[in-house]
A and B are shown apart, each in its own frame.
Chain A
């Protein structure tokens, strides 16, 4: 069905060993424009490592990455920075810059990486903060924001770079339950607006409702993938469904 859709990101044969232990084993996936791929799987399955390998924050041992048809040369430092500037990354624990206000957190990469003037960058930062509903918090420092607000600032910071694709590493796992909704709402709006994303999450309702495709990971491999309705259908004997049933039992 997605044959005519434009391919944004393709990874092939990504493997990674840490301390002699294989963490990722020959992972491949392709994301097309406007798709939301959801990675699920037990803790330690390698979801987070896979996302960080895709952004080369952890350099993969082997494998190849193409962004919009261009192969990434991982040992070319300049090329790598340019690549990362086009691939957004949202972390579990936000990782805002503690010494900068919300507005400066969004603006700094625009100025230093995109080379915008201070004024342009500020205007763009305020626009993005408005988009995540935080225009009135622009002058606060991370220490003065709630977890949900911090994550929304992090999303605004990524959006400001006009990324081709956004990688989200369990964006709501570090949040208090009552704050999860506001972050998911922002991500939902992005998905509906056609943003291309790969997201690791345990929010199954969210995945079921919005994912174009679910990838199930276990022991460093992608072992199942398909549209949510098929993988999670009543009576389908998939690992994904077992896992979700298990999550439900645990009251998640």
Chain B
């Protein structure tokens, strides 16, 4: 039957410890990656030609190479160039760089969806370029980008489990250790899966709430 001692003494304490590390990866990677994505997206839409090209190349590279490979490069290859990362630092850096690339795609799409006419109207009222971007384009683009960016955060929660590849002991890593020690793979990974499912569910609720909070008639159906 259900071995409660195994759960309460071995598995859950280990997973809770891993959960804290996971959260310490997801929250900063999610927020910094989002900020990076907004900057990168703006750069790719409003920047001078060379900057757009640079942004496009960056995105193509980060989206085109598996995240596991990027992690390996940052953790194992960069030291050859004299750049050393602790496991946590390597994972966090890699997640920020990767999620920013994906976020920039959602942001770019949202920025391009703002009708040219509104930009003209703002200029005709005497807005400078920056005022137009800040007061007219960004508030609308943010609402358009929210569902996509939220989706990326959900992905991030799950791909944070790759951090164990570079020995950063988060939820997945702790689970793996317990499983190899006890050979109880089924119980361990069912529980790990449940942890992720709960995190994703909470994040989904939060994102729904944000969408409702910032809803405006005319932006998507309700």
Contacts and interface: CB of A to CB of B under 8 A. Distances in A.
A34 B117 CA distance: 28
A135 to B, nearest CB: 19
Nearest to B116: A95
A55 interface: yes
A95 B118 contact: yes
A77 B128 contact: yes
A96 B216 CA distance: 14
Contact of A98 (B118, B120, B122, B128): B118
Contacts of B125: 84-85, 109, 113, 157-158, 161
Contacts of A161: 125-126
A153 to B, nearest CB: 11
**Chain A interface, >50% SS class:** helix
Contacts, number: 76
B182 interface: no
Interface stretch (A18-26, A137-145, A213-221): A137-145
B217 interface: yes
A57 B217 contact: no
Given A112-B127, A161-B126, A99 B219 contact: yes
Contacts of A144: 217-218
A243 to B, nearest CB: 28
B216 to A, nearest CB: 5
Nearest to A140: B217
Contacts of A91: 117, 120-121
Interface string B110-152: 0000010110111111111001000110011001000000000
Contacts of A97: 118, 121-122, 136, 140
Interface in A99-116: 99, 108-109, 112-113
Nearest to B119: A95
Interface residues of A, number: 33
A142 B121 CA distance: 14
Given A93-B117, A95-B118, A98-B118, A82 B218 contact: no
Contact of A89 (B121, B127, B217): B121
B126 A85 contact: yes
B120 A81 contact: no
A87 B217 CA distance: 30
Given A85-B125, A112-B131, A143 B117 contact: no
A57 B127 contact: no
A112 B128 CA distance: 10
Interface of A: 52, 55, 57, 77-78, 81-89, 91, 93, 95-99, 108-109, 112-113, 141-144, 154, 157-158, 161
19 contacts: A81-B127, A84-B123, A86-B126, A95-B115, A95-B117, A96-B118, A97-B136, A98-B216, A98-B219, A99-B143, A109-B122, A109-B125, A109-B126, A112-B127, A113-B125, A141-B216, A141-B217, A143-B218, A161-B125
Of all A-B residue pairs in the complex, the 4 with the closest CB atoms, nearest first, are A143-B218, A85-B126, A95-B121, A89-B124
